[in-house]
Amino acid sequence: MDKAVTDQAEGLRRLLVKSGSRVVAVTGGPIGVGCTSTVVNLAAALASFGKDVLVIDECLGRNSVSAMVGGVGSAGSVRALLAGEIGLDQAAPRHELGFSVLAASHENCAGYSAAELGVMLTGPADVVLIDARLERNGALSLLAAQAHDVMVVTRVAAQAITEAYVAMKRLHYAHAIAQFRVLINRVSRQADAHTAFENLAEVAGRYLMLSIAPAGCVAADPLMERSLELGRCIVDAFPSASAARDYRRVAAEMLYWPMRAATLPRRSALVGAGRAASTPQHA
Protein backbone atom coordinates (compact mmCIF):
# COMPACT_ATOMS: atom_id res chain seq x y z
CA MET A 1 0.00 0.00 0.00
CA ASP A 2 2.79 2.41 0.92
CA LYS A 3 4.58 1.69 -2.36
CA ALA A 4 1.40 2.33 -4.36
CA VAL A 5 0.82 5.63 -2.58
CA THR A 6 4.44 6.63 -3.17
CA ASP A 7 4.20 5.75 -6.88
CA GLN A 8 0.98 7.74 -7.27
CA ALA A 9 2.41 10.75 -5.46
CA GLU A 10 5.57 10.68 -7.55
CA GLY A 11 3.56 10.33 -10.75
CA LEU A 12 1.35 13.28 -9.82
CA ARG A 13 4.33 15.41 -8.88
CA ARG A 14 6.00 14.69 -12.22
CA LEU A 15 2.83 15.62 -14.10
CA LEU A 16 2.70 18.95 -12.29
CA VAL A 17 6.34 19.85 -12.90
CA LYS A 18 7.02 18.02 -16.16
CA SER A 19 9.11 20.07 -18.56
CA GLY A 20 10.24 17.35 -20.92
CA SER A 21 12.17 14.12 -20.75
CA ARG A 22 14.04 12.78 -17.74
CA VAL A 23 17.68 13.12 -18.79
CA VAL A 24 20.38 10.94 -17.22
CA ALA A 25 24.06 11.28 -18.13
CA VAL A 26 26.00 8.06 -17.57
CA THR A 27 29.75 8.20 -17.05
CA GLY A 28 32.48 6.64 -14.93
CA GLY A 29 36.11 6.68 -13.98
CA PRO A 30 38.35 4.23 -15.85
CA ILE A 31 37.58 2.71 -19.22
CA GLY A 32 36.14 -0.76 -18.83
CA VAL A 33 33.76 -0.26 -15.92
CA GLY A 34 30.81 -0.81 -18.26
CA CYS A 35 29.25 2.60 -18.92
CA THR A 36 28.24 1.85 -22.49
CA SER A 37 26.80 -1.59 -21.74
CA THR A 38 24.92 -0.01 -18.82
CA VAL A 39 23.36 2.59 -21.14
CA VAL A 40 22.32 -0.02 -23.72
CA ASN A 41 20.87 -2.44 -21.17
CA LEU A 42 18.98 0.27 -19.29
CA ALA A 43 17.59 1.57 -22.58
CA ALA A 44 16.45 -1.92 -23.56
CA ALA A 45 14.90 -2.47 -20.13
CA LEU A 46 13.05 0.85 -20.19
CA ALA A 47 11.79 0.18 -23.73
CA SER A 48 10.48 -3.21 -22.58
CA PHE A 49 8.43 -1.31 -19.97
CA GLY A 50 6.80 0.64 -22.79
CA LYS A 51 8.84 3.81 -22.31
CA ASP A 52 9.96 6.00 -25.20
CA VAL A 53 13.75 6.10 -24.82
CA LEU A 54 16.39 8.12 -26.65
CA VAL A 55 20.06 7.21 -26.28
CA ILE A 56 22.56 9.96 -27.12
CA ASP A 57 25.96 8.53 -27.94
CA GLU A 58 28.86 10.89 -27.25
CA CYS A 59 31.47 8.12 -27.09
CA LEU A 60 31.85 7.20 -30.73
CA GLY A 61 34.22 4.43 -31.78
CA ARG A 62 34.53 0.66 -31.81
CA ASN A 63 33.08 0.25 -28.31
CA SER A 64 30.35 2.88 -28.59
CA VAL A 65 26.59 2.45 -28.26
CA SER A 66 26.27 2.99 -32.00
CA ALA A 67 28.77 0.20 -32.69
CA MET A 68 27.26 -2.11 -30.08
CA VAL A 69 23.67 -1.97 -31.32
CA GLY A 70 24.45 -1.39 -35.01
CA GLY A 71 22.18 -0.02 -37.69
CA VAL A 72 22.17 3.61 -36.54
CA GLY A 73 22.76 6.75 -38.57
CA SER A 74 26.06 8.55 -38.99
CA ALA A 75 27.29 11.13 -36.52
CA GLY A 76 26.87 13.83 -39.18
CA SER A 77 23.10 13.63 -38.83
CA VAL A 78 23.26 15.64 -35.61
CA ARG A 79 24.42 18.72 -37.53
CA ALA A 80 21.53 18.35 -39.95
CA LEU A 81 19.20 18.11 -36.95
CA LEU A 82 20.63 21.23 -35.30
CA ALA A 83 20.42 23.08 -38.62
CA GLY A 84 16.73 22.21 -38.84
CA GLU A 85 17.19 20.18 -42.01
CA ILE A 86 15.82 16.93 -40.53
CA GLY A 87 13.70 16.01 -37.53
CA LEU A 88 14.72 14.09 -34.43
CA ASP A 89 12.97 10.96 -35.68
CA GLN A 90 15.18 11.02 -38.78
CA ALA A 91 18.39 11.83 -36.93
CA ALA A 92 17.79 9.18 -34.27
CA PRO A 93 16.61 5.93 -35.89
CA ARG A 94 14.74 3.48 -33.69
CA HIS A 95 16.60 0.26 -32.99
CA GLU A 96 14.79 -3.07 -33.09
CA LEU A 97 15.09 -3.21 -29.28
CA GLY A 98 12.66 -0.30 -29.12
CA PHE A 99 14.86 2.70 -28.30
CA SER A 100 16.27 5.42 -30.55
CA VAL A 101 19.96 6.23 -30.92
CA LEU A 102 21.46 9.61 -31.79
CA ALA A 103 25.20 9.68 -32.51
CA ALA A 104 26.38 13.07 -31.19
CA SER A 105 30.14 13.27 -30.82
CA HIS A 106 31.75 16.35 -29.26
CA GLU A 107 33.25 17.17 -32.64
CA ASN A 108 29.84 17.24 -34.34
CA CYS A 109 28.38 19.36 -31.54
CA ALA A 110 31.22 21.89 -31.52
CA GLY A 111 30.23 25.49 -32.15
CA TYR A 112 26.69 25.20 -30.80
CA SER A 113 25.44 26.79 -27.60
CA ALA A 114 23.85 24.89 -24.73
CA ALA A 115 20.46 26.22 -25.80
CA GLU A 116 20.91 25.03 -29.38
CA LEU A 117 22.06 21.58 -28.24
CA GLY A 118 19.09 21.39 -25.89
CA VAL A 119 16.78 20.74 -28.85
CA MET A 120 17.96 17.12 -28.68
CA LEU A 121 16.39 16.85 -25.23
CA THR A 122 12.99 18.36 -26.03
CA GLY A 123 11.49 15.51 -28.04
CA PRO A 124 8.77 13.05 -27.02
CA ALA A 125 11.08 10.63 -25.16
CA ASP A 126 10.16 9.70 -21.61
CA VAL A 127 13.83 9.10 -20.80
CA VAL A 128 17.02 10.33 -22.47
CA LEU A 129 20.18 8.39 -21.61
CA ILE A 130 23.48 10.04 -22.53
CA ASP A 131 26.58 7.89 -22.81
CA ALA A 132 28.65 10.87 -21.68
CA ARG A 133 32.20 11.44 -22.77
CA LEU A 134 34.01 13.72 -20.33
CA GLU A 135 36.14 16.62 -21.50
CA ARG A 136 39.88 16.61 -20.85
CA ASN A 137 39.35 18.61 -17.67
CA GLY A 138 36.78 16.10 -16.45
CA ALA A 139 33.73 18.23 -17.27
CA LEU A 140 30.56 17.18 -19.05
CA SER A 141 29.76 18.45 -22.53
CA LEU A 142 27.30 21.33 -22.87
CA LEU A 143 24.69 18.73 -23.83
CA ALA A 144 25.30 16.25 -21.01
CA ALA A 145 25.49 19.09 -18.48
CA GLN A 146 21.76 19.60 -19.07
CA ALA A 147 20.98 16.22 -17.48
CA HIS A 148 18.83 15.98 -14.37
CA ASP A 149 20.99 13.18 -12.97
CA VAL A 150 24.58 12.05 -13.41
CA MET A 151 25.08 8.32 -12.92
CA VAL A 152 28.65 7.23 -12.20
CA VAL A 153 29.39 3.58 -13.00
CA THR A 154 32.17 1.87 -11.07
CA ARG A 155 33.30 -1.56 -9.92
CA VAL A 156 34.30 -3.21 -6.63
CA ALA A 157 38.02 -2.54 -7.06
CA ALA A 158 40.24 -0.01 -5.31
CA GLN A 159 41.42 1.63 -8.54
CA ALA A 160 37.90 1.88 -9.98
CA ILE A 161 36.52 3.39 -6.75
CA THR A 162 39.37 5.89 -6.60
CA GLU A 163 38.85 6.97 -10.20
CA ALA A 164 35.09 7.26 -9.65
CA TYR A 165 35.77 9.60 -6.74
CA VAL A 166 38.16 11.67 -8.87
CA ALA A 167 35.55 11.86 -11.66
CA MET A 168 32.89 13.09 -9.21
CA LYS A 169 35.31 15.60 -7.71
CA ARG A 170 36.06 17.10 -11.13
CA LEU A 171 32.38 17.14 -12.09
CA HIS A 172 31.51 18.78 -8.78
CA TYR A 173 33.98 21.61 -9.33
CA ALA A 174 33.11 21.99 -13.01
CA HIS A 175 29.32 22.07 -12.61
CA ALA A 176 28.58 22.45 -8.86
CA ILE A 177 26.82 19.07 -8.92
CA ALA A 178 25.85 18.26 -5.35
CA GLN A 179 24.49 14.73 -5.82
CA PHE A 180 25.48 11.75 -7.93
CA ARG A 181 23.92 8.37 -8.52
CA VAL A 182 26.38 5.48 -8.29
CA LEU A 183 25.91 2.10 -9.96
CA ILE A 184 28.25 -0.70 -8.89
CA ASN A 185 28.87 -2.99 -11.85
CA ARG A 186 30.04 -6.61 -12.14
CA VAL A 187 29.37 -7.46 -8.52
CA SER A 188 30.28 -10.92 -7.19
CA ARG A 189 28.92 -10.39 -3.68
CA GLN A 190 26.25 -7.92 -2.58
CA ALA A 191 28.15 -7.29 0.66
CA ASP A 192 31.21 -6.12 -1.28
CA ALA A 193 29.08 -3.70 -3.32
CA HIS A 194 27.49 -2.33 -0.16
CA THR A 195 30.89 -1.79 1.48
CA ALA A 196 32.32 -0.11 -1.63
CA PHE A 197 29.34 2.23 -1.87
CA GLU A 198 29.42 3.15 1.82
CA ASN A 199 33.15 3.91 1.68
CA LEU A 200 32.75 6.05 -1.43
CA ALA A 201 29.78 7.91 0.05
CA GLU A 202 31.67 8.58 3.29
CA VAL A 203 34.75 9.99 1.56
CA ALA A 204 32.70 12.10 -0.87
CA GLY A 205 30.57 13.45 1.96
CA ARG A 206 33.50 14.21 4.24
CA TYR A 207 35.81 15.92 1.76
CA LEU A 208 33.45 17.31 -0.88
CA MET A 209 30.14 17.59 0.97
CA LEU A 210 28.56 15.53 -1.80
CA SER A 211 25.47 13.37 -1.51
CA ILE A 212 25.92 9.97 -3.12
CA ALA A 213 22.72 8.05 -3.82
CA PRO A 214 22.72 4.39 -4.87
CA ALA A 215 21.55 3.63 -8.41
CA GLY A 216 21.81 -0.10 -7.70
CA CYS A 217 24.25 -2.84 -8.58
CA VAL A 218 24.59 -5.36 -11.40
CA ALA A 219 25.86 -8.89 -10.88
CA ALA A 220 29.00 -10.23 -12.52
CA ASP A 221 27.44 -12.53 -15.06
CA PRO A 222 29.29 -14.82 -17.53
CA LEU A 223 26.39 -14.41 -19.93
CA MET A 224 27.33 -10.73 -20.32
CA GLU A 225 30.38 -11.66 -22.39
CA ARG A 226 28.35 -14.14 -24.39
CA SER A 227 25.72 -11.52 -25.19
CA LEU A 228 28.46 -9.18 -26.45
CA GLU A 229 29.86 -11.94 -28.64
CA LEU A 230 26.40 -12.27 -30.14
CA GLY A 231 26.23 -8.52 -30.74
CA ARG A 232 23.32 -8.13 -28.34
CA CYS A 233 22.72 -6.79 -24.84
CA ILE A 234 22.06 -9.18 -21.99
CA VAL A 235 18.58 -7.77 -21.28
CA ASP A 236 17.57 -8.85 -24.77
CA ALA A 237 19.68 -11.98 -25.27
CA PHE A 238 19.31 -13.59 -21.84
CA PRO A 239 16.40 -11.90 -20.05
CA SER A 240 16.43 -14.40 -17.18
CA ALA A 241 20.14 -13.84 -16.40
CA SER A 242 20.97 -12.28 -13.05
CA ALA A 243 22.54 -9.20 -14.67
CA ALA A 244 19.48 -8.71 -16.90
CA ARG A 245 17.21 -8.81 -13.86
CA ASP A 246 19.45 -6.27 -12.13
CA TYR A 247 19.32 -3.87 -15.10
CA ARG A 248 15.54 -4.10 -15.19
CA ARG A 249 15.40 -3.36 -11.46
CA VAL A 250 17.64 -0.29 -11.85
CA ALA A 251 15.58 0.91 -14.83
CA ALA A 252 12.32 0.53 -12.93
CA GLU A 253 13.63 2.46 -9.92
CA MET A 254 15.07 5.19 -12.15
CA LEU A 255 11.56 6.17 -13.21
CA TYR A 256 10.81 7.21 -9.63
CA TRP A 257 13.97 9.14 -8.84
CA PRO A 258 13.13 12.71 -7.75
CA MET A 259 13.25 15.02 -10.77
CA ARG A 260 16.13 17.37 -10.03
CA ALA A 261 17.01 20.61 -11.79
CA ALA A 262 19.47 20.24 -14.66
CA THR A 263 23.05 21.39 -14.11
CA LEU A 264 22.69 23.94 -16.91
CA PRO A 265 19.44 25.86 -17.58
CA ARG A 266 17.31 24.17 -20.22
CA ARG A 267 16.55 25.65 -23.64
CA SER A 268 13.46 27.58 -22.54
CA ALA A 269 15.53 29.58 -20.06
CA LEU A 270 18.26 30.30 -22.58
CA VAL A 271 16.31 31.26 -25.67
CA GLY A 272 17.21 34.79 -26.64
CA ALA A 273 20.57 34.73 -24.90
CA GLY A 274 22.30 34.10 -28.21
CA ARG A 275 25.64 32.56 -28.97
CA ALA A 276 27.61 35.42 -27.42
CA ALA A 277 26.17 34.78 -23.99
CA SER A 278 26.47 30.99 -24.13
CA THR A 279 29.02 28.98 -22.22
CA PRO A 280 32.29 28.71 -24.20
CA GLN A 281 32.81 25.44 -26.02
CA HIS A 282 35.55 23.10 -24.84
CA ALA A 283 38.22 22.03 -27.24
Residue 72: the pLDDT is 57
Mean pLDDT confidence for 184-206 = 96
pLDDT band at residue 265 under the 50/70/90 scheme: low
Q: Is residue 164 part of a domain?
A: yes
Residue-wise pLDDT tens digits, 157-179: 999 999 999 999 999 999 999 99
Residue 137: what residue type? N
Q: Distance between CA atoms of 41 and 242, rounded to whole angstroms?
A: 13
In a domain, 87, yes or no: no
More confident residue, 265 or 52: 52
- Domain of 53, CATH number, reads 3.40.50.300
pLDDT digits (tens, 9 = 90+) for 196-228: 999 999 999 999 999 999 999 999 999 999 998
148, 84, 131, 206 alpha-carbon torsion, rounded to 10°: -30
pLDDT value of residue 76 = 59
Which of 9-23, 54-68, 133-147 is predicted most confidently? 133-147
CA distance 280 to 45: 36
136 vs 71, higher pLDDT: 136
Q: Is the pLDDT of residue 15 over 90?
A: no
- List, in sequence order, every residue forming a beta bridge with 183; answer none if it has no partner: 153, 216
Side-chain-side CA neighbours of 236 within 13 Å: the count stands at 22
pLDDT at position 111, please? 93
Question: Per-residue confidence at 116, pLDDT binned at 50, 70, 90?
Answer: very high
In 3D space, the residue among 214, 222, 216 whose CA is nearest the CA of residue 242 turns out to be 222
Q: Provide the pLDDT for residue 94.
A: 87
Average pLDDT over residues 253-281: 57
Would 45 be classed as within a structural domain? yes
Residue 230 has pLDDT above 60, yes or no: yes
Stated pTM of the model = 0.86
Domain count along the chain = 1
141 in a structural domain: yes
Percentage of the chain beyond pLDDT 70 is 83
CA distance 43 to 58: 15
User: What pLDDT is attached to residue 225?
Assistant: 92
Range of the domain at 152: 22-59+125-258
Instruction: Write down the pLDDT at residue 260.
Output: 77
- With a CB cutoff of 8 Å and minimum separation 6, the contacts of 20 are 121, 122, 266
What's the pLDDT score for residue 259? 82
How confident is the model at residue 153, as a pLDDT? 97
Task: Taking residues 106-120, report their average pLDDT.
Answer: 93
Asked whether 101 and 92 are in contact (CB, 8 A), the reply is: yes
For residue 214, the cross-strand partners are 182
Output the CA–CA distances (angstroms, integers) from residue 99 to 30, 46, 65, 127, 210, in the order listed: 27, 9, 12, 10, 32
Residue 147 included in any domain: yes
68 or 239: whose pLDDT is higher? 239
- Is the per-residue pLDDT at 19 higher than 80? no
Average pLDDT over residues 269-274: 36
Is residue 54 in some structural domain? yes
Mean pLDDT of 84-91: 89
Q: Taking 50 as the threshold, does the pLDDT of residue 268 lie above it?
A: no
| pLDDT given at position 67 | 79
Q: Does 201 map to a domain?
A: yes
Question: Is there a domain that residue 138 lies in?
Answer: yes
